Amino acid sequence: MVCGSTPQLQTSSASLPALISLSFGGAIGLMFLMLGCALPVYDKYWPLFLLFFYILSPIPYCISRRVVDDTDSASNACKELAIFLTTGIVISAFGLPIVFARADVIEWGACALVLTGNVVIFGTILGFFLVFGSNDDFSWQQW
């Protein structure tokens, strides 16, 4: 290292395009959620409660990855419980707009936009864990 130079974050060549595409996917998913809330035809902001589900969905899996030792190849209870809780959160995120639409709290068109946003957001979250989930030098576990 040259004296006076600062060390730079070294990323692999595949991580930058993946990060950009994941950011784009998250922005598109949030756009669908906002359109389902803010279009003048719908004008109800109840679907914004789904933001809690977006925040909560990766937490059980992240906690289990920190707690569990990945040296054994067999499945363990902590990881299975984390996958179960994550699945429950994702199913609830898809169910809430349908319940809102059935109860006439939001319109069915807003429900369709919010469900489309759910597919994109949860696909983006899954893509993040697939791209940055390995134990290399640029993984999410160092954060």
DSSP for 117-142?
HHHHHHHHHHHHHHHH-SSSTT-GGG
- Joined tokens for residue 111: 């429900």
The pLDDT score that the predictor gives to residue 132 is 81
Spatial distance between the Cα atoms of 41 and 121, rounded to a whole number of angstroms: 23
* pTM of the full structure: 0.80
The HSE-up count of residue 129 (CA atoms within 13 Å, CB side) is 13
- Joined tokens for residue 21: 């595409």
- Tens digit of each residue's pLDDT (9 = 90 or more) over 43-54: 899 999 999 999
Q: Which one, of 111, 132, 109, 112, lies nearest residue 58 by Cα?
A: 132
The segments of the chain whose pLDDT lies below 50 read 1, 5-10, 139
Backbone phi, then psi, for 138, in 5-degree steps? -120, 65
The pLDDT score that the predictor gives to residue 27 is 95
The HSE-up count of residue 57 (CA atoms within 13 Å, CB side) is 22
